[in-house]
Amino acid sequence: MGNSIAVCPGSFDPVTNGHIDIIKRALVVFDRVIVAVLKNSSKTGMFDFDERLDMLRTVFGDNDRIEIDFFDGLLVDYMKKKKIKVIAKGLRAISDFEVEFQMALMNREVDLEIETVFLVPSVKYSFVSSRFVKEIYRMGGELKDIVPEIVDRKLKEKFQSIK
């Protein structure tokens, strides 16, 4: 393989087992994966930026092939700075494809050297989204098989403090 690196970008608010599945699948294809968290000050997440980074570091802390990093602004600018040419993204459904395909084309328009690789999740994670996870916890449910233990605990803490 050489020294191939891909970036898996996202907000990871919060990280789910679906994200973890895609990142592990990327490690089958690439030597290293940078999990790049979007730091978007105009968007308020459930978890603040540092909480999201901490959860990802807890989940992947023991894997030296995974780096947890962040970016703000354009992903292609981050990629140029890091000298990386490949974005790895997961596709759950046709609706994901439409959005991700448009983003891939737009990224290529900005930088012709950027390629996007789409990875298909395990069937058991094909329906998982951070938005649905937060909604289920907000309503008093839990999804221990869908989120890492650290996320389960943090979601319970968040919603306990709201009640």
Name the band, by pLDDT with cuts 50, 70 and 90, for residue 142: confident
pTM exceeding the 0.85 threshold for the entire prediction: yes
Rg (C-alpha) for the chain, rounded Å, is 16
Higher per-residue pLDDT: 43 or 23 = 23
Catalytic residue, from 25, 89, 130, 154: name it. Answer: 130
Q: Which residues of 18-45 are buried (b: 16+ CB within 10 A; e: fewer)?
A: bbbbbbebbbeebebbbbbbbeeeeeeb
pLDDT of residue 1: 47
What does the mean pLDDT of the chain come to?
A: 92
Q: If you average pLDDT over residues 28-51, what whole number do you get?
A: 90
CATH, range 5-162: 3.40.50.620
- Two structure tokens written together for 102: 């448009």
Q: Is residue 156 among the annotated active site residues? A: no
DSSP helix, strand, coil percent of the chain (3-state; round to 5): 45, 20, 35
Of 145 and 162, the one with more pLDDT: 145
**E strand or H helix at 32:** strand 32-38
Q: Which of 24, 80, 82, 92 is catalytic?
A: 92
Structure tokens at 139: 């309503």
Question: Which position has the token pair 């979601």?
Answer: 155
Q: How far apart are CA 87 and CA 117, in angstroms?
A: 6
Active site residue 82: no
Average pLDDT on 121-143 reads 91
Clarify whether 95 is annotated catalytic: no
pLDDT in tens, 4-25: 999 999 999 999 999 999 999 9
> Which entry of 41, 43, 81, 163 is annotated as an active-site residue?
43
pLDDT at 153: 94
For residue 69, the Cα-to-chain-centroid distance in whole angstroms is 11
